[in-house]
Amino acid sequence: MLDLLAIAAHPDDVEQTCGGTLLRMAEAGYRTGIIDLTAGDMGTRGSPEIRISESADAAKILKVSHRENLHFPDARLENSMAGRMTIAQRIRELRPRTVILPYWEGRHPDHYRTAEMGYEACFLAGLRKIDQYTEPHRPYKIIYSSLYANVTPSFVVDVTPYLERRMESLLAYRSQYGDAAEGGAALFPDEAEIRERLSATARFYGNLIGVKYGEPFVAREIMRVDDVVSLPVQSL
C-alpha cells in the first residue's frame, strides 16, 4: 500500500523532522504514510482529541496517503512485545518499502523508544509464522531522521521547494504553536521564533549539499554508488 512510512512518537514529530521529505516523495508519485504512536496526551497544551484532529489537517498539507494514531501511552512508551507486535501488524498491512524512524538517541525517551520499537517491528513483520492471518513483509530500507541529533548525516534531502508547506503543516497544530495556543507560554516559542529556528536548521543542512534547505538522515548501512562521475554535491 505504501512506498514510504514514517513512524513517530508524537503528532507533530514528523512535521518537525522529515515533513519536507514526505511531501517531496508524495509529489514525486510515491504513496506516503505516517504512524504516530501516541496522541501526546501528556503534553502541556491541547488534548489527545485536538492533537489527532490537527494531525489530520497536517497530513493533508503533506499529502500523505495514510495517517493513524496507535494511542500508546505518551511519555510512558515501553519496548514491549505487545507494542512491537502492534506496529509489526501495521507494517505487514501497509507494506512500505522504506521506513523513517527517529534517530536512536535523544533527550525524550519516547523518541529513542520509537526507534527501538520501529526497528524491531520491521524485523518481526517479516517472520511468516508470527501471524497466520497476514502475509509477511519486511521493509527494504530503514532510515533515521537526524535533524535534532548532533551527528553527521549519511545524506541530506533537498526540501527547498517544500519548506514553507512543511512549516504550514507544523503550524496546523494550533493548540501547540502560534499566538492562539494556551498554557505553558514560557516553554513554547511564538510563531515567528518557530519559523526562524526551523528555517535556520534547514538552511544549515541545505548548505551541506549546496542547496537552500535540507533535511538530514542517517543510514546504518554503507550507501552504494555505481557511477562516480555523476555524483551530486560539488567538492570545490
pLDDT in tens, 89-140: 999 999 999 999 999 999 999 999 999 999 999 999 999 999 999 999 999 9
pTM of the model: 0.95
- Can you name the residues that pair with 67 across neighbouring β-strands? 34
Secondary structure letter of residue 11 according to DSSP: T
Half-sphere exposure of residue 57: CA atoms within 13 angstroms, side-chain side: 15
pLDDT of residue 133: 92
Q: Say whether pLDDT at 185 is over 70.
A: no
Give the distance from CA 183 to its chain's centroid: 26
Query: What is the topology classification, in CATH, of domain 4-218?
Result: Rossmann fold (3.40.50)
Grid coordinates of 145: 531522521
Domain definitions of the chain by residue range: 4-218
Grid coordinates of 23: 511531501
The angle subtended at Cα 70 by Cα 31 and Cα 136, nearest 5°, is 60
Grid coordinates of 63: 499529502
Residue 43's pLDDT band (cuts 50, 70, 90) = confident
**Nearby residues of 125 by Cβ (< 8 Å), 6 or more positions away:** 88, 89, 91, 92, 136, 137, 138, 139
CA distance 80 to 165: 36
Q: Are 26 and 32 in contact, with CB atoms under 8 Å apart?
A: yes
Give the distance from CA 172 to its chain's centroid: 16
pLDDT of residue 179: 65
- Can you name the residues that pair with 33 across neighbouring β-strands? 5, 66
pLDDT of residue 178: 65
